[in-house]
Structure 1
Amino acid sequence: MSLDRYGVLKGRVLDHRREPDDDTPHYQILIDGDGSARAAVNVLSSGQESDPKMSELLYVAVEDFQHPILADLEKLKDGYTELDRKPGGLALDYIRGSLFDRTDLRALPAHEPGEDNDLADVLDHYVTRAQANNGSRIYAFGEPWSAEKEADKIFRFKPGRGIHNIHMNQGNAGRFKGDNGVWQDGALLFHFPAADRWVAIFLAFQSQKWHTDDRTGGALPDVPQARPGGQPAEGEPDQRLRIVGALVNAVGASPEDESVTLINTTTESVDLAGWAIADRDQHQVSLPARTLAAGETIRIPLIPPVALGNHGGTITLLDAVGLKVDGVAYTAADATEEGRTVVF
């Protein structure tokens, strides 16, 4: 199963509200797209965890977000756009889309006395900035709900409608297992054209798992799992084997001699047999069956159908059992100059 629908709501921020503390408080945003709509953003989980601290959401705010989806995202008309849940388009996937480093996620309480110390304060910072600038746009990714007969319960516009599930939507267990899916994660993106800057906010629940099935989005069994914001669990792939460079726009006509450079930052040798590199469309090329010594680098030539498009893309490093070890993204601007290696 998965979300019933998935897409992105684009528009101007008109207003916002903090909900009082209850079992599932939300941060509410009034958006003017093709009419009024409400984005309901979770700032606390359902409260069923035995440890109240585990109810706190994980978040990361990427202040200068750069990703190949942005060029096409900006071209969307205001309003809701349904998205295909597949790689290579505008759909988001926290694991497969190389959007951010999962270890940057941090837990924050929903509401705390004082300033700049809770998740609502974080959202306030960017939402109020967008609200003050008519030229800015918010992009809320998630699951829409259809027009209601009644007025919206928060902002009272009619008919009520909006978007929710603006968070990671895979790796769930229990009663939320039915929401699992790939390429359907939620997020908030803000575009401030005057400053030529994008900001992205990604949210996840501490109960969600990071290594998920490529088809169902469910947590993989028999795989050591850390929560999305944690360091690798014992036995989990160590992310210290990194992608450090890529020759995206090689000299010459297509198909070009593209390549990806890896470095082993660990203190031990790594057997690369069975490892692979995946492009934005999830095409894969196998790494050579050899050992990479501590501190050693290796340049991996890419073979079609694997390709690094000059309009931006992602590169993912997968271990011998197909788990993500590292991932990076590059933009069209990075690929402008022929023969130049992009450094990550």
Structure 2
Amino acid sequence: NDQQVIMGWTSEEDNLGPQRGWQGCHTLPRTIFLSDDGYELRSRPIEALKTLRNETSHRHFTDVVLDTNIPFEPVPDVKGNQVEIVINWQFPMYQNLDFGLIVLSTPDGQQRTSIGITSRNNTSVMMNSDLPGWDYLSVPQITQWSDCQIACSKDNKCQAWTYVQDREINNNCFLKSGVPLLTSNSVCTSGVKQREAGEQIVWVYMDRSLSQRNPDAAHEPIHAPIWLQPSTINTEWILELDIFIDHSVIEIFEPYGGRLALTGHVYPEEENANTFAVYVNEPATAQGHIIINTLDIWNLNTIWTERHKFF
């Protein structure tokens, strides 16, 4: 059917490859396509992956409202570490939010991986905030954050900026070719170059800080920004994620628009790290709700029709 299909390679992110006897694996096959305006190359999982779903294991949840701070709320009657998850989130526009789904978790949540969404009410100027990474230029002769913002607005390559107030001139304003994940930093002021009126940037992330005990495995977050566009019928954002977990590999997609694809490794040591949960670190204000419109989880069948012994 004239699909353009690609596969990538994901390397291991720990120090135990020699003990396992292999190093890395292919990513899921993805179909690639152009955005409607023809300027962006996008991707989504191929449709044939749906044939791996074990329909007898299917669990379906609807209209789950998350109105308060929730550290760890288990999803009932479902476990697994070889699964597909399709989750449709609804959340308010232009608020400070942080929420998501916990996977590969022990029942007590001590070992877990979080797949979340974070947003800010205003990303044009964010006090006490850093956007670490993607630096391509240190702008000279900058003495205040507003001049750093202006420098970014005049540079076509710049997507974001950070001004560091305790650095000397010529080493305090950094222009960025991408939009890194926001972090707190009392000496920084940062901002994102804004796009069309009404659009809002949010970050989708994979938090691996508690994914494994091994200090030589990757613990830093994986993340990607995504711009959401308002419509005449919605007063809140809708964002659907398609998540595939195969034991130590997690892949996250935005299936309809194809604007997001994240791949990362985690290495939970606990055999019972197969629980799912939801969390809210920053809830919505009284003017809105964080809602799971739909949550579907399937165990996935293996692709192997028979086992082969290679050694």
Q: TM-score, normalised by structure 1?
A: 0.28
Q: TM-score, normalised by structure 2?
A: 0.30
More strand by share: 2
Which structure is richer in relative contact order (CA contacts within 8 A, separation 6 or more)? 2
